[in-house]
Structure 1
Amino acid sequence: MSTVIDRLCGRYTLWEIFSPTIACIVIFVGFPLTLLAIYSLYSQVQNDHVAPIFVINLLISDLIQICCLMVWVVLWFTFWESSMVYCVSSLIYYGAVLASAGFMVCIAVERYLVVAWPLWYRFRRSIKFSVMVSIIVWVFCFTEFIISYFKPIFRPIILLLPFPLLVFSLAGTLKALCTIISIPPKEKRQIVGTLVLVLLNYILLFLPWVTFILIDCCSENYDIFYDDSYDFLWYLAEFVQFSPLADLILYVLIRKGATEKLLISMCCCRMLRDEEQVQVATINE
């Protein structure tokens, strides 16, 4: 008991306090809200709304991350030194973070398809297809570390892939929205806001973490990075723990029925445009 009191009352460096503090904030705020968001979105899937499936999987990956943070906090406060528990929880946490990035890409690409290719998306989408994509993402994320064990450079490359895909989805959506006048400005702002939030989430929370991993994988002499700049990058990398809270904001933007209403209006607009073109061609003939 005296050892616990001595350690709790002892002096700690910022390095030792920073990560547990972030973890506690995410646990107490994110855990109940994430459970509530998952339940709300699951009820939408029961009513045959396809769009929230990727968001549900994103929130599930957040829930797994939060559970791993709970394990780390317990290890830290109880001073239970178990390398096996920490190793397993770290692997699960990494897989969940990678899955989170994957489902962010799925959400962004889906929004792009709804705006740019509404008819194609409407007739080819299904719950089965969304579930299959989700399973592929989960399987890949929890087997990636096997490949990275033999090829360490594979990990940062995979983690950097979402960035160009997110930029492409945002740019393509903006280009498509500029040519569409049937969508109300409020819905346009919601669409763009969702994609911008996903991109900012990756840039501000994931990219420093990816950079940190890239340095560790590519450096031949790790000691040259153990300076103030390395410590600063480590602190930035720890902010990836806040991603579950950022995803809750994304859930607020993707409210009930938003994608379904958007898809209906887009398809109607595209069908009317095609009919007008056919009529014009008939008159010209």
Structure 2
Amino acid sequence: MEWSKSLSNLVLSVYGITFIIGVPANILAFYTFIRKVRLRATPIDVLLLSLTTSDLVFLFFLPFRMVEAANMRWDMPYFLCPLSGFIFYSTIYNSTLLLTAISVERYLGVAFPIQYKLKRRPLYAAIASAVFAVVSMAQCSIVYIMQYYDHKNPTAIAPSGRNTCYEVFSTEQLEILIPVRLELFLVMFLIPFLICCFCYISFVRILSRLPNISPKKRFRAIGLALGTLLIFIICFMPYNISHVEGFVNWKSADWRVYALLTSTFNACLDPLVFYFSSSALREMCNHFIKKLLRRPVFASCRKAMYCSAVEESTQSSNDSSR
């Protein structure tokens, strides 16, 4: 990939929007789930807390990518390159596993309500979250391997002398990297995506057959299913499809950089899953909005709008009386 001014502006715009929206949304979610877990933890709360923590770690390292895009080269200390890349990709794939676990938890809760209620434990969700983190980091350790692989070759550029980060690969590196990318597509995307599709389709179908389910609960169920599947399709699918094309053509796809941009939106869209999954977060959001609207600026705006409406109503009454 060769940097250009237009590409730099595009990357900065996408990363900037993701950072500005994602940070406050995930901080609010993190605060809510921390309170909920301390009061009365449930498996879904633990999974959602793990997901928002993963998103916050991702957002913390996103500025390194923004600096690279702004400079159109890697000018920072080189050890930050594999570290930021490792965190970047690990948190993305960790999110796919956590979203899949949330879909399984929702499905089991409606398909086997009695059996699952007797066996559900927050500890199991915590163990699953830890396993997902370890698996995603193990899978993405290829980032460290590729950044330092074969650098002792006299024809290769030493890591400390490079001005690119995880972009230019030798033939020997691609021999290892391309099959690993295909494995990431199969294990870390395709299988979780199929599981999510099955769980949420079954989840919505079961709820639609229950006679005593309120329209609001059905709406939230549909929103949760659509929100999660949209995250997989919009955020994760393009980048993972580039792995398949790379395997077929045995080279890195030229459009990988654009596909990777959509993956960053995951940190913005995950709060949709939080909102539809957690009543505690919905209550916190409503409380936050009401508190915001009570501020003097918004209060004066509401008063001005009310006075304007009264004045218009009075004027129209006077006109009709004439």
| Band of TM-score, shorter chain | 0.7 to 0.9
Corresponding residue for 1:68? 61
Alpha-carbon shift at residue 19 of structure 1 (Å):
1.5
Corresponding residue for 1:182? 212
Aligned-partner Cα distance in 2 for 1:83–1:218: 31
Aligned-partner Cα distance in 1 for 2:114–2:142: 38
Aligned-partner Cα distance in 2 for 1:220–1:77: 30
Q: Which aligned segments of 4 or more residues in structure 1 are displaced greater than 6 angstroms?
A: none
Alpha-carbon shift at residue 25 of structure 1 (Å):
1.5
Aligned-partner Cα distance in 2 for 1:146–1:210: 17
Alpha-carbon shift at residue 30 of structure 1 (Å):
1.3
Q: Is the 8 A contact 1:72 1:86 kept in 2?
A: no
Give the secondary-structure state (helix, strand or coil) at the position aligned to 2:265.
helix
Aligned-partner Cα distance in 1 for 2:82–2:103: 32
Residue correspondence of structure 1 range 54-93 to structure 2 within 5 A: 54-77=47-70, 80-93=75-88
Q: 5+ unaligned residues in a row in structure 1: which ranges?
A: 1-10, 259-285
Corresponding residue for 2:316? none
Aligned-partner Cα distance in 1 for 2:35–2:225: 24
Give TM-score, length-normalised by structure 1. 0.77
Per mean C-alpha deviation after superposition, the further-off stretch among 55-64 and 81-90 is 81-90
Alpha-carbon shift at residue 17 of structure 1 (Å):
2.0
Aligned-partner Cα distance in 1 for 2:276–2:120: 21
Corresponding residue for 2:139? 144
Residue correspondence of structure 1 range 192-203 to structure 2 within 5 A: 192-203=222-233
Q: 5+ unaligned residues in a row in structure 2: which ranges?
A: 146-175, 282-322
Alpha-carbon shift at residue 197 of structure 1 (Å):
0.6
Aligned-partner Cα distance in 2 for 1:165–1:122: 21
Alpha-carbon shift at residue 254 of structure 1 (Å):
2.4
Q: Is the 8 A contact 2:30 2:52 kept in 1?
A: yes
The structure-2 alpha-carbon separation of the partners of 1:147 and 1:117, relative to structure 1 and needing over 3 Å to count, comes to farther
Give the secondary-structure state (helix, strand or coil) at the position aligned to 2:102.
helix
Give the secondary-structure state (helix, strand or coil) at the position aligned to 1:132.
helix
* Aligned AA (1:55): L
The structure-2 alpha-carbon separation of the partners of 1:147 and 1:239, relative to structure 1 and needing over 3 Å to count, comes to closer
Instruction: State yes or no: 1:169 paired with 2:199.
Output: yes
Alpha-carbon shift at residue 109 of structure 1 (Å):
1.0
Residue correspondence of structure 1 range 150-161 to structure 2 within 5 A: 151-152=179-180, 153-158=182-187, 159-161=189-191
Corresponding residue for 1:38? 30
The structure-2 alpha-carbon separation of the partners of 1:83 and 1:217, relative to structure 1 and needing over 3 Å to count, comes to farther
* Aligned AA (2:16): C
Aligned-partner Cα distance in 1 for 2:87–2:274: 23
* C-alpha RMSD of the superposition: 2.4
* Aligned AA (1:187): K
* Aligned AA (2:10): F
Larger radius of gyration between Structure 1 and Structure 2: 2
Aligned-partner Cα distance in 2 for 1:130–1:38: 17
Per-residue CA deviations over 1:57-103 (Å, capped at 9, x if unaligned) read 11111111111211222344466244331221101110100001111
Q: Is the 8 A contact 1:41 1:52 kept in 2?
A: yes
Aligned-partner Cα distance in 2 for 1:257–1:29: 20
Q: Which of 240, 248, 255 is the aligned partner of 2:271? A: 248
Aligned sequence identity (%): 20
Give the secondary-structure state (helix, strand or coil) at the position aligned to 1:182.
coil
Aligned-partner Cα distance in 2 for 1:193–1:120: 26
Alpha-carbon shift at residue 161 of structure 1 (Å):
1.5
Aligned residue pair count:
242
* Aligned AA (1:238): L
Corresponding residue for 2:293? none
